[in-house]
């Protein structure tokens, strides 16, 4: 049986992708040339905010005082989980040293970047969890200066819970500035701050485009498109839970794809019948987003068996991948393309998004076919070194000289020649490229 689409998307993440490149390029150029004042002008225009840009300790403390203790406890819980997982990730990176050939020692060192810029969305939704995910991992990595940048609300500023999260997770600076101007301020080192070496965190299409343009001058975590989620479910799955999980991801935005892949027609039909009812019960903004995403971007795919289900999932390379099917170990071993994997009904994407410990900054739009999500490793430079005795350098120098000449790089060859002549004056070497 070939794959059967019981529901087909009428749009894709690229359908409505507008060309914002020219606008973002212009804004970046104006801010780089105009400095602080140009960034402030754009903040007044787009953020409609004229308060403090770099928050003082007193302003941070005043905001924290407005966060209820129960919410603070939840943020501390999530932070502890993310920190614990990040520390375990970091432990997988270590200095190594190996004797490649006798007398030639080579090694690697993981070195954190000096300054990290963490963008925390704060528009339609206050992304407290994004502050936790980005700042905590940068802190565990060992970055010397961490900037948390979030768009302020007109006349209000950054949501107090975001400020609290950024502060306890280790941000050295909290900036009230959104969009391209916030990204530019961190990249160009405005307002007396250090220029960041890497930009991380989700954002709207303008933030994503700014990161794309600036990549090369700074590192980035990834270029994020609309969030997406795929569920693999067999006949033993609970249709109500599958439907709820699809709706929970569709509420992200009107263009957030969700996909159900199953080998059980009754389950597929039950889920398709239940989703509209669950969407209708959401608050207005969430309902409108989820309804549009389900109508235009969602797909329900019927497969012959679990192997075809797995192959379908790998082809989609979803950002979030949930398995609600028997034999979870088989799925864990078989699946290869996803940003983050949630095995079994007892886990769900929202757990990873908010508090379970794995990171929620993940590859979208199929990028999971070649990259993973944000981790401590993204802030680390894996650099190499080598040293040698003169005897250890001897065979390497001979090979280098001959390979370099074969390539036509005579200057390279002579850097090997001169060492052989100095270290082994009584010996004759065949350093030509001829056979």
Q: How far is CA 435 from CA 37, 159, 280, 405, 427, in A?
A: 65, 71, 77, 12, 20
Catalytic residue among 320, 360, 377, 407: 320
Known catalytic residue at 320:
yes
Token digits for 25? 């390029």
Distance CA 294, CA 287 (A): 10
Phi/psi for 173 (5° steps) reads -140, 140
Q: Which residues are annotated as a binding site for NAD(+)?
A: 119, 181, 204
Phi/psi for 195 (5° steps) reads -65, 130
**Within 10 Å of residue 361's Cβ, how many Cβ atoms?**
24
Q: Which residues are annotated as a binding site?
A: 119, 181, 204, 249, 252, 353, 412
Cβ contacts of 253 within 8 Å, gap of 6 or more:
226, 227, 289, 293
**Within 10 Å of residue 7's Cβ, how many Cβ atoms?**
17
> Strand pairing of 229-233 and 320-324?
parallel
Q: Which residues are annotated as a binding site for Zn(2+)?
A: 249, 252, 353, 412
The angle subtended at Cα 172 by Cα 169 and Cα 175, nearest 5°, is: 100
Token digits for 97? 């040293």
DSSP 336-348: ---SEEEESTT--
Known catalytic residue at 319:
yes
Distance CA 424, CA 390 (A): 9
DSSP conformation class of 157: B
Long-range contacts of 155-160 (CB under 8 A, 24+ apart): 155/48, 155/49, 157/49, 157/51, 157/52, 157/63, 158/55, 158/63, 158/122, 159/122, 159/126, 159/128, 160/63, 160/64, 160/66, 160/67
Four-residue CA torsion sign, 232, 238, 239, 244:
negative
Residue whose pair of structure tokens reads 């080598």 in the numeric block: 386
Catalytic residue among 79, 145, 209, 319: 319
Give the residue numbers annotated as catalytic, written as ranges. Answer: 319-320
């Amino acid at each position: 049986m070939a794959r059967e689409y019981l529901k087909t998307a009428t749009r894709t993440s690229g359908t409505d992708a507008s060309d914002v490149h020219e606008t973002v390029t212009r804004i970046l150029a104006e801010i780089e040339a105009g400095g602080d004042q140009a960034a402030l002008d754009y903040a007044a225009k787009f953020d409609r905010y004229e308060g403090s840009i770099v928050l003082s300790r007193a302003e941070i403390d005043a905001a924290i005082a407005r966060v209820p203790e129960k919410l603070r406890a939840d943020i501390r819980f999530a932070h502890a989980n993310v920190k614990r997982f990040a520390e375990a990730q970091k432990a997988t990176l270590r200095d190594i040293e190996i004797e490649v050939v006798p007398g030639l020692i080579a090694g690697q060192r993981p070195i954190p970047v000096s300054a990290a810029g963490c963008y925390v969305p704060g528009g339609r939704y206050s992304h407290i969890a994004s502050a936790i995910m980005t700042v905590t991992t940068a802190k565990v990595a060992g970055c010397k200066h961490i900037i948390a940048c979030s768009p302020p609300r007109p006349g209000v500023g950054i949501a107090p819970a975001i400020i609290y999260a950024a502060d306890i997770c280790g941000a050295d600076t909290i900036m009230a500035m959104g969009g391209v101007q916030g990204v530019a301020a961190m990249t160009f080192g405005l307002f007396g701050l250090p220029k960041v070496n890497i930009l991380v965190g989700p954002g709207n299409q303008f933030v994503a485009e700014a990161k794309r343009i600036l990549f090369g001058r700074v590192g980035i975590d990834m270029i994020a498109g609309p969030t997406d989620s795929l569920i693999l479910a067999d006949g033993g799955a609970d249709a109500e839970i599958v439907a709820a999980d699809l709706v929970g991801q569709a509420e992200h935005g009107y263009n957030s794809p969700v996909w159900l892949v199953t080998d059980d027609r009754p389950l597929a039909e039950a889920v398709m019948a239940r989703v509209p009812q669950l969407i209708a019960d959401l608050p207005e903004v969430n309902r409108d987003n989820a309804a549009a995403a389900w109508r235009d971007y969602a797909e329900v795919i019927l497969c012959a068996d679990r192997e075809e289900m797995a192959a379908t999932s790998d082809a989609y390379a979803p950002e979030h991948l949930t398995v609600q099917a028997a034999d979870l170990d088989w799925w864990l071993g078989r699946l290869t393309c996803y940003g983050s994997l949630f095995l079994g009904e007892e886990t769900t994407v929202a757990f990873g998004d908010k508090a379970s410990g794995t990171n929620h900054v993940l590859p979208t739009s199929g990028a999971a076919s070649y990259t993973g999500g944000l981790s401590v490793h993204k802030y680390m430079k894996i650099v190499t070194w080598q040293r040698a005795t003169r005897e250890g350098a001897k065979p390497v120098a001979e090979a280098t000289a001959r390979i370099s000449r074969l390539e036509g790089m005579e200057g390279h060859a002579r850097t090997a020649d001169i060492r052989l002549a100095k270290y082994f004056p009584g010996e004759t070497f065949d350093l030509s490229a001829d056979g």
